[in-house]
Amino acid sequence: MDFYSEIAKRIARTYSGLSTSHKRIADFVLGSPAESAMMTIEELANACRVSIATANRFAKALGFEGFAEFRAHQTEAVRLALAPVEKLKAGRDGSVTGFDIITSGLRQDVTNLEKTLEMLTQERCEKAVALILEAERIFTYGAGISYHVAGILTHGLEPFCRGNVSMIGATGGENAALRRLVHAGGNDLVILVSFPRYATETVELLGVAKERGTRILCITDRPASPLAGPADVVLYAQTERHLLPNSGAAAFALVDGLAAAVANRRGEGIDIQMRLAARYLPDVGRTPGAKPDGR
């Protein structure tokens, strides 16, 4: 199951200091998150061969008030992870035409754009632009549909940033991304993109960037996202869509707008655009097939 719950993050932070019995519970929870979320404290204790009191102390060792709060967090993580699958099951209707589905999806994307606009603030937008322009190097990363959102952002930023802009993990996945990120420093910026179901590797890269003291800009869907808390700046894009796990329309629009804001802030941004246009657009009036000097 590809999700990274609050439980998993707490276990990662405390694992080295847990007792042998608590580590046994932690290993079971990480290995069987859906199963453990459905268990009572008695069932979990029996499965891990520990006492009920030990199971309750495990929850407290993770920072919860007790087992009830621990189970509530785990259940919510599983619900979020399974929501896209349940949505697909509930949305299937053989009587609905292709036209109906397409037009409904477009209307939902309009709603997503409106909600994304409502969640933007001037402070966050200005800080995001400033982080991008000040960075010596920029590393972008996303998995799934977020990979393509990160790619569009990388493409849009490349002409206007004083430092190198690169997608880490574009070839080689998470391991390649980690190899690049271990060299990041305080003057660099990591831009991470993730939407439900939040990719585990993206959250892990966020932790590495935090350890390195690298500045972090995250693009995600809601304040409850595991990417939202540790980031220096977060921009939100709504991605709800019936019959699909996510829709990227609002996210693509958001990163296009971010790239445009960076271009506008750069003093020579318009000149760069003009030079690019002159390079790639044919001269008006040039005879097809003729060389640039007319010969």
**28-56 confidence digits (pLDDT tens):** 887 777 788 889 999 999 999 999 999 99
| Collapsed DSSP state (helix, strand, coil) of residue 216 | strand
Kindly compute the dihedral angle of the four CA atoms of residues 183, 174, 222, 157, in this order, to the nearest 10 degrees. 60
Q: How confident is the model at residue 95 (pLDDT cuts 50, 70, 90)?
A: low
Residue 133 has what pLDDT? 94
Cα distances from 148 to residues 83, 92, 165, 260, in angstroms, run 22, 27, 15, 18
Those residues whose C-beta lies under 8 Å from the C-beta of residue 161, and which sit 6 or more positions away, are 132, 133, 135, 138, 262
CATH code of the domain made up of 6-88: 1.10.10.10
Q: How confident is the model at residue 117 (pLDDT cuts 50, 70, 90)?
A: very high
Is the pTM value of this prediction over 0.85?
no
Domain ranges of the chain: 6-88, 112-279
CA distance 193 to 167: 11
Is pLDDT larger for residue 182 or for residue 288?
A: 182
**What digits encode the pLDDT tens for the residues 143-197?**
888 999 999 999 999 888 877 899 997 776 778 888 888 889 899 999 999 988 7
Residue 163 · residue 137 · CB < 8 Å? yes
For residues 61-68, give the mean pLDDT: 92
Share of the chain above pLDDT 90, in %: 42
**What digits encode the pLDDT tens for the residues 5-23?**
577 778 877 887 889 999 9
Lowest mean pLDDT among 9-18, 69-78, 119-128, 273-282: 273-282
| Sign of the CA dihedral running 280, 285, 291, 293 | negative
Strand partners, 190: 139, 216
| Collapsed DSSP state (helix, strand, coil) of residue 191 | strand
Residue 192: enclosing H or E segment and its boundaries? strand 189-193
Those residues whose C-beta lies under 8 Å from the C-beta of residue 268, and which sit 6 or more positions away, are none
What is the full DSSP assignment across 121-161? Answer: -HHHHHHHHHHHHH-SEEEEEE-THHHHHHHHHHHHHGGG-
Residue 3 has what pLDDT? 42
Tokens 């290995």, located at residue: 31
Pull the structure tokens for residue 186.
């305080």
Architecture of domain 112-279: 3-Layer(aba) Sandwich (3.40)
